[in-house]
Amino acid sequence: MKRLLLADQDGWRLPAFRPGAHIDLHLDGGLVRTYSLCNEPEDNRRYIVAVKKEANGRGGSHYIHETLRPGQTIGVSVPRGGLEFADSAMNVFIAGGIGITPFVSAIRTLERQGRNDYVLHWASMGPPSLGDMLQPALSAGRVHLYDTRRVAPPDLGTLIRQYGDTAKVFCCGPGGMLDAVEALVADWPEDRKHIERFVAPAHTPDPSVKPYRVVLAKSGREKDVLPEIGLLATLESMDADIIVSCGGGICGACRTPWSEGPPIHHDRVLTPREREREVCVCVADCAGPTLVLDI
C-alpha cells in the first residue's frame, strides 16, 4: 500500500470535496485513474489517496508504485461525488481490504461531527493497512475488524439484518462481497444503499436500442450513434472533450451534462437527481432520436 500526499505546487488551497469523494490522477502515457480521497474535507491544503499495487491491474497502480517519485508534478481533477449519510437511521459501512478507502474520509467526518449513528465492519487479510487514519473510531468501538487469516469473515446477511429495516448500507470491496451485499439489498430503496466498485462489470450493449443522433451543443458537431458502435466510441471518434477512466460506469469521470434525450443510464454512481442533468457517457444509451450533450 502506498499513500500519496498531493498538494498545489504554489501552496494554494485545493477545491473542496464531500466525504467519500474521488479524484482522477492523470499519469504518464495517457493513464487516468480514479482514487478515493482519504483525508477530511476540512483539510483543504492537501489530498491523500491510498493505492494498492495490483498484480493484474491496468497499469495505474504499477506506475504509482514503481515510477512516480516525490516532488513529481501530475495532473489532478477536481473532486467529484461523495456519500450521503442517513440522518435518522444507522449508517452501516462494510469494507473488504482496500475497499475501505471510500469510507475513510466519511468516518473521519462523522467522528468530527460527534455522531454515533454509524458502524464499520472491515475484513482484511492481515492487519488493516489504514487503521491509523481511523483511530478515533477504533477507540470509540465503532469499528469491527476481521483478520480473515485468523477468523471467518462476517455473515453478511446476519450483519445487515441486525441493524433493522431503516439502516443505510455502504459497501466496497472484492467482487464477491459486493455481489452478495447487492443481492441482499436488491429490494431496498436507492437512497438506503451505496455499492461502490473498483472494477467495472462488463457492459453488454442493448440490442433493442435504436440508432440516434448525438449532438455536442458547444461545438455544434453531431454524429449518428449505432448500437453496435455505442456512444463512447462515437464520442471518441468526434474528439469530444470527455475524460474516461473506468469505461464501465463506476467512477463518474465521464459524467457529462445533457439537455435533450433522455439518456438511458447504465452507470452505478449517479443519483436519481443527478441523472436528471448528467449522464456517464461511457455506458449510456438514448431513449429518443437525439441526445444533446452540453460539451
Domain C-terminal end among 196, 231, 260: 196
The alpha-helical segments, DSSP class H, found in the chain are: 60-66, 101-112, 135-139, 156-161, 175-184, 231-237, 272-275
Asked if residue 33 is part of any domain, the answer here is yes
Asked if residue 98 is part of any domain, the answer here is yes
Domain harbouring 258, CATH code: 3.10.20.30
Low-confidence residues of the chain: pLDDT under 70? 56-58
Asked if residue 110 is part of any domain, the answer here is yes
pTM above 0.85, yes or no: no
Q: How far apart (Å, rounded) are the C-alpha atoms in residues 289 and 123?
A: 47
Asked if residue 234 is part of any domain, the answer here is yes
User: Are 22 and 79 a contacting pair, CB within 8 Å?
Assistant: yes
Same structural domain, 25 and 104: no
pLDDT in the model for residue 31? 86
pLDDT in the model for residue 57? 67
Domain C-terminal end among 21, 46, 76: 76
Same structural domain, 192 and 95: yes
Same structural domain, 104 and 192: yes
Closest CA to 168 of 85, 254, 246: 85
Give the domain extent around 37: 2-76
First to last CA, the chain: 37
Please count the structural domains in the chain: 3
Q: How far apart (Å, rounded) are the C-alpha atoms in residues 275 and 280?
A: 9
Asked if residue 52 is part of any domain, the answer here is yes
Same structural domain, 183 and 137: yes
